[in-house]
Structure 1
Amino acid sequence: MKSLFKLSPVYCFLFLLILFAGCAKEDSPEIEEPKPEEETFNYSSSAKYNLNIVYFLPTDVKERKESHRRLSEILLHGQAFYRKHMQEYGFGNKTYNMLVDEDQDRVKVIYLKAKYPTSNYPYEGGGAKIIEEVDAYFAANVGERNSDHTLILTPVLDCDNRDVPYYGMGRYCFAMDYNEMDVRFFGENSKRGNDASKYIGGLLHELGHGLNLPHNKEKVSEVHKSNKGTALMGGGNYTYGKSPTFLTRASCAILNNCQVISDFEDTFYTGASLQITSVLASYTNGELKISGTFDTNKDVNYVCFYNDPATDNADYDAVSWAAPVEGGNAFNISMPMSELHQKDNTPYVLRLRFCHSDGEISNISYSYSLENNEPIIEFGDKENFDRTNWQVIDFSSEENNELASYVLDGDADTFWHSRWSQDATSYPHHLTIDMDAMHDVSGFSFLQRDGMRKVKDIEIMVSTDNAQWESIGNFQLKEINTLHHVSLGNKTSFRYFKIIANSAFDGQQYAAMAEIMCF
């Protein structure tokens, strides 16, 4: 039988040549194109403690373009900014320490691949998830952790549409990275110039939180000064690199003791306790004057005073002062009320932040209000009556080891708590106290529990015989952890008084109180 077709000798040769070539290619190893050499850096620091910088890469987002150069330039720019203001206030040539290759102007950044896509690390709740993975990395790579302070950056495709953590959480802080976040665009009259100011300023603002800083606002007199302007820890995340921006003296006083700004080796953040032993407050010549003494187990070198309008739940508008400690345990400050932005009839919380040399900060709060631009002072030492023979003779309920009698024991760390472990009781709660003798009383002093369950609304009843009772009014206490006073206006004579608690600041059914006194 004849074949249907017949290949010519030439076609047979070509066919065999192609077949041989294919087999030869299949059997030979692939030749890879040479990869560009990776840059190498020699990082060093003269400091014992250095800021950890982590670039956190979710699985669905690649590293942004030139991130190492841009972030290095941003952090070196910020390092110079922090140093400038530390020097201006007399704290020395200090700034946050980093591992740096001085010859190539590069900062050590740890590029860490995440376990999940960006959607797993949203603004709300994503920070804790990222910290868990970062901590796991440091646990497996102990030598990579250089301090207790960590800046974490998450790349995004679009800075205008992002949902990643952007805040401080203790000594961790979060910011983002995108392709045009670059100091080279500072001052440029364009969207990318404005964004560079906002997001680089935002990075350094959040870094401030990671270095122990709270919010604060510039004083009225600082707004238009060429070397001041807007406080970084206030609205400075919108002005940095565009118009005058600065660190306040209070911020620098706190930074002075920060682990990664320290110029010495020591043990940091070991726990500090502090109690105010006396405090005096007065208003003269347009200035609110605060002085006092304290006891502490850790040295304090500065006290910072934050005047925060209590008209909202934020503290961006808190105007601050700072003063060195006198004689080891005394403080004294004069604060012109003209420097406050909110005046008229405004309630204020005054937060005292005691800066311990080991980096810890002890916080004590007081309250006052402005009326016709003058402070009405509701705190300070009073001549409280001796409570040696006082007794709690009746109470609505108490918890084991949180007894009603603790409101008279003189210990700020003990407190009465309504019953909660079983058969929990609800408002109203009450305590009845026998002062053992008649007193002419001008007012009451209350110390709330330093924690939850602070009492809000109360009624005070008084009696001369524990039989006939008279109400002397309804009052609202302060949601602060320091002694504050309720004035009766006129002196009232009685031996017994009953405090009826009607509500709590946290809206829960429980009540707690540390101390009750009269003056």
Structure 2
Amino acid sequence: MKSFYLIISVYCFLLLLVLFTGCSKDDTPEIEDPKPEEEESFKYTSEKEYNLNVVYFIPTDVEERKESHRRLSEILLHGQEFYKNNMQGYGFGNKTFNMLVDQSKDRVKIIYLNGKYPTLNYPYEGGGAKVIEEVDAYFAANAGEKNSEHTLILTPVVDHDNPDVPFYGWGRYCFALDYTEMDVKYFGKNSKRGNDATKYIGGLLHELGHGLNLPHNKEKLSETVIKSKGTALMGSGNYTYGKTPTFLTEASCAILNNCQVISDYEDVFYTSVSLQINNISASYNNGQLNISGAFTTDESVNYVCFYNDPATDNADYDAVSWASPVIGGNTFNISMPIDELHQKENTPYVLRLRFCHANGEISKFSYSYRLKNGEPVIEFGDKENYDRANWQVIDFSSEENNEVASNVLDGDANTFWHSRWSQNATTFPHYLVIDMNKVLDVKGFSFLQRDGMRKVKDIEILVSTDNTQWESLGDFQLKDVNTLHHINLVEKKSFRYFKFIANSAFDGQQYAAMAEIKCF
């Protein structure tokens, strides 16, 4: 019997020894406190009119994670300071995202909202819309609780290594998750807890950036080795935040400067705007891509941001950005060293311009160029297009009500021709025949795609002097951009009529649309 007890004692000792030595002190699991945090009263205040809404959305099968109010308050205050330091660094002043805070207790106001269903009903794919529906219903019933158009929604999970909850930006909503050990105290730890803190807290602040109007972008090549820079938060910064240098780019801060919960603007935010680029020019000199132009708008613009996005994938995480203040008279000018781009050899690029309106709205335009042997081949800029006052569309395959074929000649970027879709929808090929009213010497064509779906991809152009005998100029591929771009002919051609034939669309659907067609 003594031998039996001795064996049991040795076994238990060895088991405890394995458990103790198998985990580092930092990775020792914390014991979940079954008792909820004691209720406290808080006095939340803010000097600003608009403040970020923070919602803790709890599915029916998950409990609030331990000390969530303390942990998340510390995370958000940490992030608030990070945003402020970056805004100050670029000269935007002492600005960051505003929140309702009890300053004496360092607690952020968080709305705890019980969901109607278990976690399974709010998956990563499609669950965001369901959560937003319940959050909006809460705000509709409690109007005083909504403090801005920007809302961060956090969902607690039991197993953060295998979560299936929304974790992304969706317009001015953004989603992240919460788990018991998500805590700023683990930043910098060389352990799973430390890595998870960077991943999920960095991820929270990355998605919050989306909820505050930010697109993705990547750091300039030179910024990767600057101690105060490193990795852009809106690029891969959710994997470096709290561990290695992470920052917001100047373009991100220029957009944040006009965000409702950051800006000093005192009028109504996010009202509709209209902006028209009057002219734009591009050149390459001394290793720099130079872009300049002028615009008209009905709502003031203070900054223009330039995103150089390699068109080698469908993501924009690798878009290197610049920002420039608007010069007097609504003009802009930027010089961007090509050496700052990460991809240089034979790479197609989309240049995305974002005009930052004071009321928080952003007008977006896209252009295309490509790098060949490390130098830009510029495929956009103003051309001396022919006057189209006497041009006519004399034939077409189909058109839609209010989206008629003649819209491609009306000079209005906001109107467009669309193939018939409402009933008896037509399929490719779609075509338009245009009469220029006289024979012209043409060097090329300019196309403005619809700003939205149904952008035309593959086309053929036929030309004629008599509308009877036709000659094909060949097959071409248009750009998936919403600004005027050009097709240069191999040699100048003389003709009066031309036939535009659309053979496919970028979205893979059977429809076609086009805003403007010109010649030069």
Deviates more, 1:229-238 or 1:504-513: 504-513
Residue 212 of structure 2 contacts residue 256 of structure 2 at CA under 8 Å; is this kept in 1?
yes
Aligned residue type for 1:371? K
Deviates more, 1:408-417 or 1:281-290: 408-417
Note the residue ranges of structure 1 that are not aligned, 5 or more in a row. Answer: 1-34
Superposition pairs of residues 346-365 of structure 1, within 5 angstroms: 346-365=347-366
For 1:322 and 1:164, the matched residues in 2 are separated by 35
SS of 1:200's partner is helix
Residue 197 (structure 1) aligns with: 198
Residue 221 (structure 2) aligns with: 220
Residues 417-436 of structure 1 show CA distances to partners (whole Å, capped at 9, x for unaligned) of 22223322211111111212
Superposition pairs of residues 82-481 of structure 1, within 5 angstroms: 82-481=83-482
Superposition pairs of residues 42-57 of structure 1, within 5 angstroms: 42-57=43-58
Q: Check 1:36–1:117 CA distance in 2 against 1; reply closer, same or farther (3 A cut).
A: closer
Residue 31 (structure 2) aligns with: none
Aligned residue type for 1:121? Y
Q: Using the aligned pairs only, state the percent identity.
A: 78
Residue 18 (structure 1) aligns with: none
Residues 463-497 of structure 1 show CA distances to partners (whole Å, capped at 9, x for unaligned) of 12222211111000111111000011221122221
For 2:155 and 2:414, the matched residues in 1 are separated by 42
Residues 406-426 of structure 1 show CA distances to partners (whole Å, capped at 9, x for unaligned) of 211111122112222332221
Residues 163-218 of structure 1 show CA distances to partners (whole Å, capped at 9, x for unaligned) of 00000111110000011111100110000001101110000000000100000000
Residue 37 of structure 2 contacts residue 67 of structure 2 at CA under 8 Å; is this kept in 1?
no
Larger Rg: 1
Aligned residue type for 1:474? D
Aligned residue type for 1:102? Q
SS of 1:320's partner is strand
Residue 218 of structure 2 contacts residue 320 of structure 2 at CA under 8 Å; is this kept in 1?
yes
Q: What TM-score do the two structures reach when normalised by structure 2?
A: 0.92
Residue 265 of structure 2 contacts residue 359 of structure 2 at CA under 8 Å; is this kept in 1?
no
For 1:265 and 1:292, the matched residues in 2 are separated by 29
Residue 5 (structure 1) aligns with: none
Residue 463 of structure 1 contacts residue 494 of structure 1 at CA under 8 Å; is this kept in 2?
yes
Q: CA deviation at 1:244?
A: 0.3
Residue 324 of structure 2 contacts residue 334 of structure 2 at CA under 8 Å; is this kept in 1?
yes
For 1:264 and 1:422, the matched residues in 2 are separated by 46
Residue 58 of structure 2 contacts residue 114 of structure 2 at CA under 8 Å; is this kept in 1?
yes
Q: Check 1:241–1:428 CA distance in 2 against 1; reply closer, same or farther (3 A cut).
A: same
Residue 23 (structure 2) aligns with: none
For 1:252 and 1:120, the matched residues in 2 are separated by 36
Aligned residue type for 1:205? H
Residue 16 (structure 2) aligns with: none
For 1:264 and 1:357, the matched residues in 2 are separated by 7
For 2:99 and 2:420, the matched residues in 1 are separated by 51
Q: Check 1:264–1:350 CA distance in 2 against 1; reply closer, same or farther (3 A cut).
A: closer
Deviates more, 1:436-445 or 1:89-98: 436-445
Residues 13-58 of structure 1 show CA distances to partners (whole Å, capped at 9, x for unaligned) of xxxxxxxxxxxxxxxxxxxxxx996222111111111111111111
For 1:140 and 1:428, the matched residues in 2 are separated by 51
Residue 300 of structure 1 contacts residue 328 of structure 1 at CA under 8 Å; is this kept in 2?
no
SS of 1:223's partner is helix
Aligned residue type for 1:230? T
For 1:96 and 1:504, the matched residues in 2 are separated by 40
For 1:423 and 1:153, the matched residues in 2 are separated by 46
Q: CA deviation at 1:352?
A: 0.4
SS of 2:225's partner is coil
SS of 1:303's partner is strand
Q: Check 1:36–1:488 CA distance in 2 against 1; reply closer, same or farther (3 A cut).
A: closer
For 1:424 and 1:275, the matched residues in 2 are separated by 32
For 1:388 and 1:140, the matched residues in 2 are separated by 55
Deviates more, 1:499-508 or 1:334-343: 499-508
Residues 261-283 of structure 1 show CA distances to partners (whole Å, capped at 9, x for unaligned) of 12353211111121111111111
Deviates more, 1:238-247 or 1:262-271: 262-271
SS of 1:79's partner is helix
For 1:207 and 1:37, the matched residues in 2 are separated by 29
The number of residue pairs the alignment matches comes to 486
Aligned residue type for 2:153? I
SS of 2:73's partner is helix
Q: What TM-score do the two structures reach when normalised by structure 1?
A: 0.92
Residue 48 of structure 1 contacts residue 265 of structure 1 at CA under 8 Å; is this kept in 2?
no
Residue 278 of structure 2 contacts residue 294 of structure 2 at CA under 8 Å; is this kept in 1?
yes
Q: CA deviation at 1:63?
A: 0.8
SS of 2:443's partner is strand
For 2:282 and 2:38, the matched residues in 1 are separated by 67
For 2:479 and 2:361, the matched residues in 1 are separated by 26
Q: Check 1:227–1:36 CA distance in 2 against 1; reply closer, same or farther (3 A cut).
A: closer
Residue 48 of structure 1 contacts residue 264 of structure 1 at CA under 8 Å; is this kept in 2?
no
Residue 18 (structure 2) aligns with: none
Residue 456 of structure 1 contacts residue 501 of structure 1 at CA under 8 Å; is this kept in 2?
yes
For 1:372 and 1:389, the matched residues in 2 are separated by 43
Residue 488 (structure 1) aligns with: 489
Q: CA deviation at 1:130?
A: 0.6
Residue 258 of structure 2 contacts residue 265 of structure 2 at CA under 8 Å; is this kept in 1?
no
Aligned residue type for 1:43? Y
Q: CA deviation at 1:510?
A: 1.6
Residue 265 of structure 2 contacts residue 358 of structure 2 at CA under 8 Å; is this kept in 1?
no
Residues 275-320 of structure 1 show CA distances to partners (whole Å, capped at 9, x for unaligned) of 1111111111111111111111111000000111111111100000
SS of 2:41's partner is coil
Q: Check 1:36–1:109 CA distance in 2 against 1; reply closer, same or farther (3 A cut).
A: closer
For 1:454 and 1:507, the matched residues in 2 are separated by 10
Aligned residue type for 1:393? I
Residues 100-157 of structure 1 show CA distances to partners (whole Å, capped at 9, x for unaligned) of 1111111111111111111110000111111111111111111111111110100011
Note the residue ranges of structure 2 that are not aligned, 5 or more in a row. Answer: 1-35
